[in-house]
Structure 1
């Protein structure tokens, strides 16, 4: 049994998944988490009987997490109950509403209802993107630490599927003419904090994944995934220290990490470190600038980052008649996303996402009441927006949209719980660099080899998991990053995978 001591910084989904697999292989694993809870952005909070997921609310491709549990000699179904949603989500435009389904026949009928003759184009999109997915998946599941990795057969097969030079919007324009139908298959770029007009065309796989595999709700919320993973880590002898932040790496020389200095002044000896902290935030705080080469502060500032989010968590003292997921598109969606990602100004016509999870899962709210999660994409903190000053007005603007577009005309008077999270809190309370909630952007210059590597060369024995490394942001890819990194560590130290 290996006795290497591995410290994992951050109990987000990537750190927990890596800890599960490594502890199951016999490594001595300790997780250090600054917050008093596990999950990072995939955590929750409860107030007056209302429970809210803090961040992610969409869960697709559960088989990836099932594989992680299997490699840790456990079964996901023994820890979490998943419910497949139908409709997956409701898309609300000014003049029509589309209910998206992972049932191909239902989806085809929904498209034909509003866009006669385009059902066959949906089939063509799914068939074409299935081939793309089959080519890209091996690339997403393997490291890209060297340019020579592009010469592997799997990479050579995938290169044409990257659709270099085409945006996500360009790709969907091959199948659909109506902008509303295009947006129904491109809005998923918001999971990356990007605009469909800038997001690389390869990411047409995002909407495909939902339509192919479905969207699920874990009973109790997505936070239950993190709690289940933490339970498995402890079952394998791993330790999780919440409320225990890491202040600095202790270096032996200039590049060798020998330990960690904790916020409380304690020092910990380690053999390897897995960083699950927000990438730019972690690098800028854990290593002095003069000791970094590739990722100095000035270089981190020049990277491209995702947008941020403005959050309203509302406990409503009545049942709310909305589907589990509803997206309210602004009247001019392109202008809205360009204001967020390019001009970095506040939009006067924001798009809004509303999760009404208690309609599926009554445990999330007191009987006869509803927990609403309301999100509006906004610029990250490179914008210079003063959220202390703008918070109240923007909150009212978002609620105006919800009242007008979702029909919740009495939401204000029926809210008995309200919590707001702005980009300021994302940065300074949740430790997200510049409040960019979806991490580094996913332009081609920051993907695969050009994204921070799973084995970071900046320091010896420093590994990465999470949205800031390959393959990228979003729960399925974060879980893949953990699989890649855990496998690299195991192979580096000659540990073979063992399954019960």
Structure 2
């Protein structure tokens, strides 16, 4: 796939999906001089990062935080724009609070001395392990994020070159196993190993390379975009349109068109043909290869069925009336742990079993962003990891959703007592909604799980081996899920695709 000369026959490009990965890809293509058309079946931008509005409340459906904002600043700079002029990004302090059933807590912050104090408060004997864990995390960040995560891994020889480094960093060890080697206290083991859940990974099976997230938090902080992540998506659309590109909503792609092994455009479900020699799919990689592309060779139905997918998500969004000054001890991000950690994770990922107990991630954006609710009110969402729909006996959410919501509510009462009497607007999403809204295989929340043999070269590549002129971005491809991952996938795309014919750049860049 190194010979991309055929792409120079035209300057048109189609991007399937207006998620953050697809919009970032469109921006980079626009900066290279392509005339880009972005198509999305939803009624607005953002994909999993979109939002809905009910009775004055904004419910941000997907990601709520931004780490490594420099990736976004670099993306904007490539387009001759200033990210901070277009998006109001606020650094959070603290990042989040973790609460356990015994009443103990851990508050995560960027300041290293504050983090040392938190570790010492729970377990003084674990301070040396914490110091070593920071070094471990930084080493994996430089290798796994700055190196592998920002370049294509579609050549097998590239994998062979980095295998010794993988071995040296014990990539075969899981995140949880690595944390267990550095911490004695089970609460700290959880606090420094749960992060893979934010990108759909089982901490007890995902490669320890993902402890790099701890360094990301320490080095770059945790941020919130005023107006929610959808505000970033909307700003991206403005850049694309300023470049001369087009973003169309309510348009679903039915097939990627090929001729002689070369992409020739797409056909929508309404039968419209949109020609382009370059196609970028931000649809889930599983959906791209199982539904949109005929005649697959490597990513066959059989191979896709053998992939392990991330867990599903149950998310309850609700708005409460007159509560802005209530629950003063509840911050922007709270993690409520149930009585089990490893057992619950195994139920979700391995057994495919919906448990009675749960752990919850609770988002209260109105602590930082009053625009998420009417004046004096609050917006919340409570997210619970649950099994995806691909297990032998999938959960029937039509029967279980109401029962599960009551279980979630009972746990939330320990954090925000009396909240149910204050609810005036709500929305609910189950794995079935993720399947239907985002066309996510098995209703998974984050596409293919980032296990070691489903990462780097083993993951669907950014440049497809199935057809010339076809590229993939987003959570299901390299480097993986999460806002930094999908933005980086577009950066990798930018390194693979040549400038549009004639070397034309966008008018904005040319003017500079």
TM-score bracket for the superposition, by shorter chain length? over 0.9
- Identify the residue that residue 474 of structure 2 maps to in structure 1: 466
**2:315 maps to 1:311:** yes
- Identify the residue that residue 144 of structure 1 maps to in structure 2: 153
Q: How does 1:7-26 map to 2 (within 5 A)?
A: 7-26=14-33
The one of 283, 286, 293 equivalent to 2:289 is 283
- Identify the residue that residue 408 of structure 2 maps to in structure 1: 398
* SS in structure 1 of the partner of residue 390 of structure 2: helix
The one of 317, 338, 341 equivalent to 1:330 is 338
Q: How does 1:104-183 map to 2 (within 5 A)?
A: 104-136=112-144, 137-150=146-159, 152=161, 155=162, 158-160=165-167, 162-183=169-190
Gap change, CA 1:400 and 1:90, over 3 Å in 2: same
Q: How does 1:27-42 map to 2 (within 5 A)?
A: 27-42=34-49
Distance 1:476 1:244 in 2: 27
* SS in structure 2 of the partner of residue 23 of structure 1: helix
The one of 455, 467, 470 equivalent to 1:447 is 455
Which structure 2 segments of 5+ residues have no match? 1-7
Pairwise CA distance, 1:192: 2.4
Which structure 1 segments of 5+ residues have no match? none
Pairwise CA distance, 1:491: 6.4
Contact persistence 1:250–1:261 (CA under 8 A): yes
- Identify the residue that residue 265 of structure 2 maps to in structure 1: 259
- Identify the residue that residue 227 of structure 2 maps to in structure 1: 220
Pairwise CA distance, 1:122: 2.2
Distance 2:140 2:23 in 1: 30
Return 490-499 or 20-29, whichever deviates more: 490-499
Gap change, CA 1:148 and 1:36, over 3 Å in 2: same
- Identify the residue that residue 3 of structure 2 maps to in structure 1: none
Distance 1:73 1:452 in 2: 31
TM-score where L is the length of structure 1? 0.95
**2:430 maps to 1:427:** no
- Identify the residue that residue 353 of structure 2 maps to in structure 1: 345
**2:311 maps to 1:302:** no
Contact persistence 1:91–1:328 (CA under 8 A): yes
Pairwise CA distance, 1:131: 2.4
- Identify the residue that residue 457 of structure 1 maps to in structure 2: 465
Pairwise CA distance, 1:341: 0.2
The one of 76, 79, 86 equivalent to 2:83 is 76
Pairwise CA distance, 1:210: 1.3
- Identify the residue that residue 105 of structure 2 maps to in structure 1: 97
Cα deviations by residue, 1:66-114 (Å, 9 ceiling, x for unpaired): 1111111111101111111111000011120111101111111122122
Cα deviations by residue, 1:93-145 (Å, 9 ceiling, x for unpaired): 11201111011111111221222243343222212321232223211111111
- Identify the residue that residue 444 of structure 2 maps to in structure 1: 436
Gap change, CA 1:63 and 1:270, over 3 Å in 2: same
Distance 2:495 2:454 in 1: 23
Pairwise CA distance, 1:21: 1.2
* SS in structure 2 of the partner of residue 118 of structure 1: helix
- Identify the residue that residue 236 of structure 2 maps to in structure 1: 229
Distance 1:247 1:360 in 2: 40
Distance 2:164 2:78 in 1: 28
Return 18-27 or 158-167, whichever deviates more: 158-167
Cα deviations by residue, 1:238-289 (Å, 9 ceiling, x for unpaired): 1101111111122224x3221211122211111110000011122222124x
- How many aligned residue pairs are there? 493
Cα deviations by residue, 1:412-438 (Å, 9 ceiling, x for unpaired): 111111111111111023311111111
Contact persistence 1:8–1:19 (CA under 8 A): yes
**2:69 maps to 1:59:** no
Pairwise CA distance, 1:149: 1.2
Name which structure has the greater RCO, CA cutoff 8 Å, separation 6+. Answer: 2
- Identify the residue that residue 4 of structure 2 maps to in structure 1: none
Pairwise CA distance, 1:361: 0.9
Distance 2:399 2:437 in 1: 18
